[in-house]
Amino acid sequence: MNRVLIAGCSFAGIFNRNAELRWVTPGIISQQSELLPDINTERFQFFGDDAAGNRAIAARVKNQLPKDKYDHVVVMWTGINRVDVPMERKAHAKMPNKYRYVSVLENWVWYFSGGMGGSWQYDSDCPDIVKSQFRDQYLHQTFRSATDIALAAILETQEFLDFRKINYTMCFIYDIHQSYDDVVDKVTNTRQRYMGFDRWPQWLALEHCLGKVDTTSSLYNMINWNKFTVPIPPYEYCLERNMLQIDEFHPTSSGMVEWFDTQLGLNITS
C-alpha cells in the first residue's frame, strides 16, 4: 500500500494542526498541548474537517480523488446525526465569513455544525442564514431521517469508489450501535442548550459527539459492511487506554497513531 487518502472529521484532522490541541468542552479553555508526531505525508494524506458531518465527508472524498492518485482510501465516518449545509460559492462570497467550520470544494462551500450542540450554537461568526438552516434541520430531524441521510452518503461513496476500482476501508469514529445514554452530559453540556423548545429528544442528547444508527432503515442492508473491518473504533480504543484529550472524546495524536497501527495496520509515521 503506497499512497493513502484518509478523510473524516476532527479525528482525521488531528494531524492537520500544529502543536495545540484545541478540543475541549465548550466554554472551557484548555492549556493541554502535545507535540504532533512526524507523519509520513508522502504516503498518507489527511483531509479532516473539524465539525464536519457525513455528507461533507462524502463530498470531500469525491472532490479529492480526481486531483491525485491514491492506492487506498480510508474514510472515517462521523456522528450519525450531524448536519451540514452546502452553499454555492457565489452566495458564500456575499456573506461575512469569519466562521471557520467551513470547507470550499470547487463551486460549493460546506458549512459544518459539529452536531446539534456543536459550534454553530455558540459561535457568533456563524451566518444567521446558515444557523437558521441548521436549527430547522435539527428540529425536524428524526431517528430514521438522520440514519437515512448518513447511510445514503456512505452508499454513494462506496458506489463511487467501487466504480473507479479503488481499494478502500471504512469505519465510524465510534460504535454506532451503542446509544451512550449513560455518558450524556459527560462530554458535552448538550442538555443545557436550547433551540426554542425545552428539551431535545433523548436520542439527540449526546448528538454533538455521537448518534445511534437505526438498523431498521432500508439503506442499512444496502451498505457493504465488509468494508468496515476495523475491530475497535478510535473513540472506544482510546477511551479504554486513557488516550483521550481533556474533552474526554477526541483522541490524542499519539492515541490516533497507535490506533492506525494496531487497528488498520498503517504505520503513518514511516
**pLDDT one-digit tens code per residue, 185-220:** 554 444 444 443 334 443 343 445 578 899 999 999
Residue 270 within a domain: no
How far is residue 77's CA from residue 8's CA, in Å, rounded to a whole number?
A: 6
Q: What is the mean pLDDT of residues 40-66?
A: 94
CA neighbours closer than 13 Å in the CB half-sphere of residue 1: 17
The pLDDT value recorded for residue 198 is: 38
Q: What angle do the packed helices 143-163 and 54-64 form, to 10 degrees?
A: 10
Lowest mean pLDDT among 94-103, 107-116, 168-177, 250-259: 94-103
| 270: CB partners within 8 A, 6+ apart | 40
Give the 3-state secondary structure of residue 4.
strand
pTM, two decimals, is: 0.87
Residue 232 within a domain: yes
Range of the domain at 123: 4-263
Lowest mean pLDDT among 11-20, 155-164, 209-218, 223-232: 11-20
Residue 269 within a domain: no
Residue 5 corresponds to which cell in the numbers above? Answer: 487518502
* Number of domains comprising the chain: 1
- Within 10 angstroms of residue 42's Cβ, the number of other Cβ atoms is 8
The pLDDT value recorded for residue 202 is: 39
What's the CATH code of the domain at 108? Answer: 3.40.50
Residue 268 within a domain: no
